[in-house]
C-alpha cells in the first residue's frame, strides 16, 4: 500500500461517526441520570427551576400556544396558599391583595394584569383562545372579561339571567361566543349562547335531561347525554349524535408533573408506582414524569419546553431541553465513570483494611466477598467487581502499584483497582461506524 494512501486513511478515520452499540444505548436507559427523563426516543434535561413569583399562587393556566401562563397571585399571602384539598371558588381566592398575573415564557416578563378585590369565579385560558377569561362576582353581579395578555385590552360582558341553575361558562374562540348551561325547575336543559360580537343572546331549550355533561373544544360545544356525545350547532341549537368512540379534540401537555414525590427526576421506579396495576416492563410508551419536590401542583406547557409548579412560597418555572444522543452518551459516561470509580475505590479500600487486619494477606478468591463485606458500608458495592487476587501477602508483591487487584467493567470503560487501592479508568474502545466498508 502506498504511503499516501495510508496517510489519507489515517486522516479520514477520526472524522467517521462513532456508532452507538445497542448494548450501550440499552445500558444508558437503565441509568438514573441527574435531572434527565426519557420521552420515547429522546432524552429531556430539566434545567434548575427558577422562582418567578413570590407569594400565594392559584389557578395557574397555560395558553394553547404555550406563549403565556396566567395565575392568581398575592404577594402578601405566602402562608395562605391553598392545598390540594381546597376545591372550587375558594381555591382561587387566596388573599386580600390578590391580582391576576401573566408570564411570557420567551421574554421572561412578569406582568400584573389587574387587581381583583372581588370574588374570583374563574381565571383561565380557554381552549384555543388567545385571551384570558376572567369571571368575578361583585355586589351580587357576575362580570366576565376577556383580557389580551399582549395589549391588556379588556372585553367585558354580562351573562344572561338564569332561570334556575347555571354552570361554568364555555368560551368558543372560533365562533366568538360564550355558552352557559341552565336547567329549569323541571330539569329541562337550556343553553344560552352569548355573542361577543354584538352581545346578543340566543337561547335553546331541550327536553328533560336530569344528567348531562358539557364539554367544549376551540370550535365546538358538546353535550354528553346517557354516555352519548352530541355536537351542538350554536346557530340553531340542533344536536348531532357523534359516532361511537368519538373523542373531543383535547390539548394535553406532553409531560406530567407529580408534586411532592421524594424521588429523583427520571427514576424508573416512579412509573411502577404510578401505574401499579399494569406493572409496565418499559417506560417508553408511558407519559414521562417530572418530579417537583415539595410542590403542590404543576404541569408542562403544551409545546413541552417548560414545566411549572407551585409551592407555599410561589411559582417556579424550569426549562426543558432535548438532549442529543452524543451529549446524552457523554453525560452518561461521565456519571458512570464517576460512580464506578467511587465504588471501586470503596471496595479496594475495604480489601486493604482487611489485609491490614490479617497480617498483610489479601482475601482468598473463593470467599473474598464474605471477607470484605464487614469493611464496607453496603454489601452491594461488590456486585460486578471482578477480584483477581488469592490470599497473596502484599509485602511480597513487587511493584504493587502496577498490580491489578480487581476491576469493575461497564459499557463505557473499566475502573481498575491497583494493589495499593488506587483506581484508574480505562475507556472502552469505540466501534467505528461502517468499519467493514473501509478499503485498503
**Cell matching residue 254:** 406532553
pLDDT exceeds cutoff 50 at 409: yes
Mean pLDDT of 411-440: 73
Strands (E), 23-89: 36-39, 42-46, 50-54, 56-62, 68-74
pLDDT one-digit tens code per residue, 281-317:
444 444 566 666 566 778 889 998 998 988 888 899 9
Strands (E), 196-313: 201-208, 213-216, 221-225, 228-232, 239-241, 256-259, 289-292, 297-300, 306-311
Band (pLDDT 50/70/90 cuts) for residue 323 is confident
pLDDT one-digit tens code per residue, 143-185:
888 899 999 999 888 776 665 555 667 888 888 888 888 887 8
β-sheet with 141-147: strand ranges across: 119-124, 132-138, 141-147, 154-157
pLDDT one-digit tens code per residue, 106-128:
999 999 999 998 888 888 888 88
Mean pLDDT of 24-43: 74
| pLDDT at residue number 47 | 86
Mean pLDDT of 86-90: 47
pLDDT exceeds cutoff 60 at 60: yes
Query: Do the Cβ atoms of 408 and 343 come closer than 8 Å?
Result: yes
| pLDDT at residue number 22 | 56
The lowest-confidence range among 61-65, 227-231, 281-285 is 281-285
Question: How big, in percent rounded to 5, are the helix, strand and coil portions of the chain?
Answer: 20, 35, 40
Please give the Cα distance from 99 to 117 (Å, whole number): 8
CA distance from start to end of the chain: 7
**Could you give the dihedral angle defined by the CA atoms of residues 137, 142, 148 and 149, in that order, rounded to the nearest 10 degrees?**
10
Element holding 426 (H helix, E strand): strand 423-427
| pLDDT at residue number 209 | 83
Residue-averaged pLDDT of the chain: 79
pLDDT one-digit tens code per residue, 337-370:
999 999 999 999 999 999 999 999 999 999 999 9
All residues at 6 or more sequence positions from 97 whose CB lies less than 8 Å from its CB, including other chains: 74, 75, 76, 77, 115
Regarding beta strands 36-39 and 109-115, do their DSSP bridges make them parallel or antiparallel, or are they unpaired? unpaired
Query: Do the Cβ atoms of 183 and 170 come closer than 8 Å?
Result: no
pLDDT exceeds cutoff 50 at 83: no
pLDDT exceeds cutoff 60 at 37: yes
* Cα–Cα distance list, 198 to 127, 128, 190, 207 (Å): 22, 21, 21, 28
pLDDT one-digit tens code per residue, 411-420:
889 999 999 9
**Could you give the dihedral angle defined by the CA atoms of residues 44, 48, 51 and 56, in that order, rounded to the nearest 10 degrees?**
70
Regarding beta strands 109-115 and 99-104, do their DSSP bridges make them parallel or antiparallel, or are they unpaired? antiparallel
The listed range with the strongest mean pLDDT (17-21, 223-227, 333-337) is 333-337
Please give the Cα distance from 97 to 104 (Å, whole number): 22
Residue positions counted in the chain: 440
Amino acid at each position: 500500500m502506498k504511503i499516501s494512501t495510508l496517510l489519507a486513511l489515517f486522516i479520514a478515520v477520526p472524522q467517521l461517526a462513532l456508532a452507538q452499540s445497542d448494548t450501550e444505548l440499552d445500558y444508558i436507559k437503565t441509568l438514573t441520570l441527574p435531572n434527565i427523563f426519557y420521552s420515547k426516543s429522546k432524552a429531556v434535561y430539566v434545567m434548575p427551576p427558577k422562582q418567578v413569583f413570590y407569594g400565594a399562587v392559584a389557578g395557574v393556566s397555560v395558553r394553547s400556544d404555550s406563549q403565556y401562563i396566567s395565575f392568581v397571585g398575592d404577594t402578601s399571602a405566602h402562608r395562605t396558599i391553598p392545598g390540594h384539598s381546597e376545591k372550587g371558588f375558594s381555591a382561587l381566592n387566596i388573599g386580600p391583595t390578590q391580582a391576576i398575573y401573566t408570564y411570557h415564557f420567551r421574554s421572561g416578563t412578569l406582568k400584573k394584569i389587574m387587581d381583583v378585590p372581588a370574588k374570583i369565579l374563574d381565571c383561565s385560558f380557554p381552549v384555543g383562545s388567545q385571551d384570558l377569561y376572567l369571571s368575578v362576582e361583585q355586589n351580587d353581579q357576575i362580570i366576565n372579561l376577556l383580557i389580551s395578555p399582549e395589549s391588556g385590552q379588556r372585553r367585558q360582558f354580562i351573562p344572561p339571567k338564569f332561570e334556575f341553575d347555571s354552570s361554568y361558562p364555555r368560551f368558543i374562540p372560533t365562533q366568538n361566543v360564550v355558552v352557559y348551561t341552565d336547567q329549569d325547575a323541571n330539569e329541562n336543559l337550556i343553553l344560552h349562547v352569548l355573542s361577543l360580537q354584538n352581545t346578543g343572546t340566543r337561547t335553546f331549550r331541550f327536553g328533560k335531561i336530569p344528567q348531562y355533561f358539557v364539554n367544549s373544544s376551540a370550535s365546538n360545544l358538546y353535550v354528553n347525554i346517557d354516555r352519548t356525545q352530541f355536537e351542538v350547532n350554536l346557530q340553531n341549537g340542533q344536536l348531532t349524535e357523534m359516532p361511537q368512540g368519538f373523542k373531543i379534540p383535547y390539548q394535553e401537555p406532553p409531560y406530567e408533573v407529580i408534586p411532592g414525590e421524594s424521588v429523583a427526576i427520571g427514576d424508573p421506579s416512579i412509573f411502577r408506582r404510578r401505574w401499579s396495576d399494569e406493572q409496565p416492563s418499559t417506560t417508553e410508551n408511558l407519559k414521562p414524569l417530572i418530579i417537583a419536590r415539595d410542590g403542590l401542583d404543576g404541569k408542562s406547557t403544551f409545546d413541552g419546553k417548560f414545566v411549572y409548579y407551585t409551592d407555599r412560597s410561589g411559582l417556579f418555572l424550569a426549562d426543558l431541553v432535548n438532549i442529543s444522543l452524543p451529549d446524552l452518551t457523554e453525560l452518561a459516561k461521565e456519571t458512570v465513570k464517576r460512580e464506578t470509580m467511587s465504588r471501586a475505590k470503596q471496595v479496594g479500600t475495604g480489601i486493604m483494611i482487611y489485609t491490614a487486619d490479617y497480617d498483610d494477606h489479601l482475601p482468598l478468591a473463593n470467599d473474598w466477598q464474605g471477607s470484605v463485606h464487614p469493611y464496607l458500608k453496603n454489601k452491594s458495592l461488590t456486585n460486578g467487581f471482578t477480584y483477581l487476587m488469592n490470599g497473596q501477602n502484599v509485602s511480597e508483591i513487587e511493584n504493587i502499584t502496577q498490580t491489578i487487584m480487581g476491576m469493575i467493567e461497564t459499557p463505557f470503560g473499566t475502573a481498575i483497582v491497583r494493589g495499593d487501592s488506587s483506581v484508574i479508568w480505562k475507556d472502552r474502545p469505540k466501534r467505528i461506524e461502517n468499519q467493514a466498508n473501509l478499503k485498503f
